[in-house]
Amino acid sequence: MSTSLKNLSEELVTPPANSETYKIGIVRAEWNTPITGALEDAAIDYLNQAAIAPANITRITVPGSFELTTGAQLLLERGLLDAVICLGCVIQGETRHFDFICQAVANGLTNLAIQYKKPVIFGVLTTENLLQASERAGGRLGNKGREAALTAVKMVELFKTYKQAFKTTAGFK
């Protein structure tokens, strides 16, 4: 994702060859909808700019960020997608709930990527307050939903490149 040195939200769109055939899933948490909705809108906008066919974008919503893992698994089980983008927002509170949710989601999504051998993109804002979340959902720090979509496209391209290169190599599926 972006740093103070580089804001990926401003990266130019150069669609990869055959990107219109990429099949991308988006799982969005309903909790903090003004933020997660802005993340999803920016992700869809980027996928459209990258020439992903609208019919190849599958979107579902889940109640909160904790459920992103289950939503992503639901999409991945069908075996039809090239990548899944998970979008959520967890804002620090006064208890350790924040830590448990963030750790569980990060671990869950990582495990799904390994299990299904597909890119599962962590587009979850983990902020101290609503202002920080707003700044990352279209504010002065760009939009992390767009960056998550950019990451998904780049990872699908990487997977397709290496699958082609190692097509005859045993063990790479």
List the catalytic residues: 97
Give the whole-angstrom CA distance, residue 146 versus residue 94. 30
Please state, in angstroms and as integers, the Cα–Cα distance from residue 140 to each residue in 10, 32, 82, 151, following that order: 11, 19, 31, 20
Q: Which of 63, 54, 68, 50 is nearest to 157 (CA)?
A: 50
